[in-house]
Amino acid sequence: MPSLDTIRTAPKALLHDHLDGGLRPATVIDLAAEFGYEGLPTTDVDELATWFRRGADRKSLELYLETFNHTVGVLQERDAIIRVAAECAEDLAADGVVYAEVRYAPELSTERGLSLDEVVAANLEGFRIGMERAAAAGRPIVMKMLVTAMRQAARSVEVAECAIRWRDAGVVGFDVAGPEKGYPPTRYLDAFDRIRRENFHITIHAGESFGLPSIWEALQFAGAERLGHGVRIVDDITVRDDGSVELGRLAAFVRDRRVPLEMCPTSNVHTGAAATIADHPIDLLRRLRFRVTLNTDNRLMSGVSLSSEFAALDAAFGIGLGEMEWLTINALKSAFAPFDERLRLINEVVKPGYARLRAAESRVTLG
Ligand SMILES: [Zn+2]
């Protein structure tokens, strides 16, 4: 079993992480004071961190999403967004993440007059600063942005067009997030069509709190290349008492076509989509060799890092370094960055990194 230190050292890739779900608690407090946001439940760092975690763990996606009022509340100014995005890159790099796609819905930061483009520009500027600082600290990271449209709002076409405008500056794809029930992917077909006609990339939050129809629409109507969570695909898999497994048509399609699943086990436990990590369908899906990737979703609300998520998976299923590397390469194969950039990370960073860790591990065992 690799130690948490080894897991932190291992190169990792992250495809599903929300900018507004990963703020440092101290930064939330600083920004609230600096920009006059008065809604915080407390200005004590530890109490605030606990409040976010407690608020998240209420077994309901709708209640979970409420905690975001405060993080979004302090993300209404250009400098605040830059700071949060820079710290995001630094925090991920310090955790051993070498490639990350972090998503944000620019429409959430327009309350005080910022435009969608100004929000995306600030986000990318923060990533640039964070990447520079991480490289200087000897932990280089490649940061990309996914632009998200919120399901409850009616701005998806506008947001999709904004994502396309910034594609050569660090935005690599488009996502739809928010409450799933009552907001099926087919409501946003105009936005998805716009993205596809530009040969751009789509991932959709689907099959998190809602079942197979959401996954089916995301893939077959909206053209999603990846599924945000996608955990309910297990509803289309039958495991019999004798251990034999039967895949329905949709599950077979997802596995055959290698559709990446952006799985976030701890977040699913908090929203009630799974009872515990040990009960999480990620175990069945990885054993059936679906294209599984491991992700954080919201590091602040769930109190996780990508390393702690790997450690939790290892504690539940004993995945070891071998499967950590498999999950990491899965993520890089599924990333929206250009092929040559992903190949470089796999061959020059990930494979040598795990080879070194395995060698060190066997030295310890032999010693
Ligand atoms: Zn998410």
* Tens-place pLDDT, residues 191-214: 999 999 999 999 999 988 778 999
The pLDDT assigned to 297 comes to 96
Cα 9 from Cα 218, distance rounded (Å): 35
Residue 98 binned pLDDT confidence (cut-offs 50, 70, 90): very high
Residue 61, pLDDT above cutoff 80: no
Catalytic residue numbers, as ranges? 208
Q: Which two tokens stand for residue 2?
A: 């690799």
* Tens-place pLDDT, residues 342-358: 999 999 999 999 999 99
Residue 179 binned pLDDT confidence (cut-offs 50, 70, 90): confident
* Tens-place pLDDT, residues 150-173: 999 989 999 999 999 999 999 999
In the chain the domains, ranked by start, together with CATH numbers, are 4-362 (3.20.20.140)
Q: Which two tokens stand for residue 243?
A: 């251990």
Residue 296 binned pLDDT confidence (cut-offs 50, 70, 90): very high
* Tens-place pLDDT, residues 226-277: 999 999 999 999 999 999 999 999 999 999 999 999 999 999 998 887 899 9
User: Ligand 1 mean position to 24 CA, how many Å?
Assistant: 18
The pLDDT assigned to 367 comes to 62
Cα 319 from Cα 314, distance rounded (Å): 5
Q: Which two tokens stand for residue 85?
A: 């995005």
User: Ligand 1 mean position to 234 CA, how many Å?
Assistant: 19
The pLDDT assigned to 257 comes to 98
The pLDDT assigned to 210 comes to 77
Cα 54 from Cα 94, distance rounded (Å): 25
User: Ligand 1 mean position to 183 CA, how many Å?
Assistant: 15
User: Ligand 1 mean position to 359 CA, how many Å?
Assistant: 35
